[in-house]
């Protein structure tokens, strides 16, 4: 059995992990932490039948790391780096769901997250946790940087084009996310009256902190066919609980038939258990993926070499907790689909 600790179990991603791992045949949940509900029980925070004790994070890291093989860290950005360092120092594997280890350059992290990186020595060994791109590295890793939700939808949709050298100039990523993407903490924009019957963009253009993550990973995919490109990213808040839909607009440098584009994506994802490649000119929707660990991708070629790619995921599953469990399955050599839909 894989002995698991979850740090930050009472956020949306933490609770999704509990739900998934409770049905995982190879997992034993050893402990859960919660700063806001320490000393309480999980069943008092969420309407669920699980009465697990909620520990303070400091107590779990100081006294109970010897009880686990891996820790999932569902902590806020900047709060995760010190905890990850303690986990790794104890010889325990870490799957971090924050942004603290996704970027290679500590200076870039500080610029976008307004916080100095105190564990920069771990950045070089952190593996970006997209199994569809880095499966072998994930299998050998002791530290996984679980990708962001928006970047997962965008990177998976564009990676085959990047590898083929087909990303040039400006690439427009128009993305919409359910309200759970903002986390469980209180903020005005996610209040019911603000979000319901509304639809609003935010941090548009080149302002959102997920932007460098997208460009770094797509640039890495394009190394064999380098070309200059820039992502223009416009996220929007959808008045739904969960799900992300990204619509990507790519001006291709040469004319490709729909069949050629479909073949390019089939070569990349034909054997991937969680990529649902749709038929030509079929568009991805939230209903293709919400409640699952899948990413649905649709290709819609237009006139004048314009390609529109649609991509959908569940932001709490393939965009967070489901992907984290997929990574754990790879790390332990289990079928990737174990406990996942």
131 SS3 class:
helix
Q: In 39-79, where does DSSP find H-type helix?
A: 42-45, 57-63
Q: Whole-angstrom Cα distance, residue 289 to residue 286?
A: 6
149 part of the active site: yes
Catalytic residue among 48, 74, 149, 295: 149
* Token pair of 95 as six digits: 């799957």
Look-up of token digits 């939808």: 153
H/E run at residue 163: helix 149-163
Q: Rounded to a whole number, what is the distance in angstroms from the first to the last CA of the chain?
A: 21
Q: In 172-294, where does DSSP find H-type helix?
A: 192-195, 211-221, 258-269
CB atoms within 10 A of CB 200: 12
Q: Whole-angstrom Cα distance, residue 143 to residue 129?
A: 9
Residues 6 or more apart whose Cβ sits within 8 Å of residue 75: 7, 8, 57, 83, 97, 98
Q: Whole-angstrom Cα distance, residue 234 to residue 236?
A: 7
**Beta strand 70-73 pairing with 127-128:** unpaired
Q: Whole-angstrom Cα distance, residue 170 to residue 220?
A: 17
Q: CA quadruple 48, 94, 331, 160: dihedral positive or negative? A: positive
Q: Whole-angstrom Cα distance, residue 77 to residue 110?
A: 11
Residues designated as active site: 149
């Amino acid at each position: 059995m894989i002995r698991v600790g979850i740090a930050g179990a009472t956020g949306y991603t933490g609770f999704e992990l509990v739900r998934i791992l409770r049905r995982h045949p190879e997992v034993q949940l050893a402990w859960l932490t919660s700063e806001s509900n320490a000393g309480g029980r999980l069943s008092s925070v969420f309407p669920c039948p699980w009465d697990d004790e909620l520990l303070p994070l400091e107590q779990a890291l100081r006294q109970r790391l010897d009880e686990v093989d891996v820790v999932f860290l569902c902590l806020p950005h900047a709060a995760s780096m010190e905890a990850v360092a303690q986990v790794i120092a104890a010889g325990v594997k870490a799957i971090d769901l924050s942004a603290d280890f996704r970027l290679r350059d500590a200076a870039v992290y500080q610029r976008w997250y307004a916080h100095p990186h105190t564990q920069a020595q771990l950045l070089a060994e952190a593996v970006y946790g997209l199994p569809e791109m880095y499966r072998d590295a994930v299998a050998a890793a002791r530290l996984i940087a679980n990708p962001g939700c928006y970047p997962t939808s965008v990177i998976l949709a564009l990676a085959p084009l990047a590898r083929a050298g087909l990303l040039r100039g400006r690439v427009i990523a128009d993305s919409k996310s359910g309200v759970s993407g903002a986390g469980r903490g209180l903020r005005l924009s996610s209040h019911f009256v603000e979000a319901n019957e509304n639809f609003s963009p935010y941090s548009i253009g080149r302002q959102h902190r997920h932007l460098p993550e997208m460009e770094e990973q797509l640039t890495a995919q394009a190394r064999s066919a380098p070309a200059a490109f820039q992502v223009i990213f416009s996220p929007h808040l959808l008045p739904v609980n969960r799900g992300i839909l990204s619509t990507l607009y790519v001006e291709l440098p040469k004319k490709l038939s729909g069949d050629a584009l479909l073949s390019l994506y089939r070569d990349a994802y034909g054997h991937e258990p969680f990529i649902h490649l749709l038929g030509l000119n079929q568009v991805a929707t939230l209903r293709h993926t919400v409640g699952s660990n899948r990413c649905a991708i649709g290709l819609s070629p237009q006139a004048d070499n314009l390609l529109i790619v649609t991509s959908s995921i569940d932001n709490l599953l393939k965009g967070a907790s489901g992907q984290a469990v997929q990574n754990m399955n790879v790390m332990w050599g289990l079928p990737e689909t174990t406990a996942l839909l």
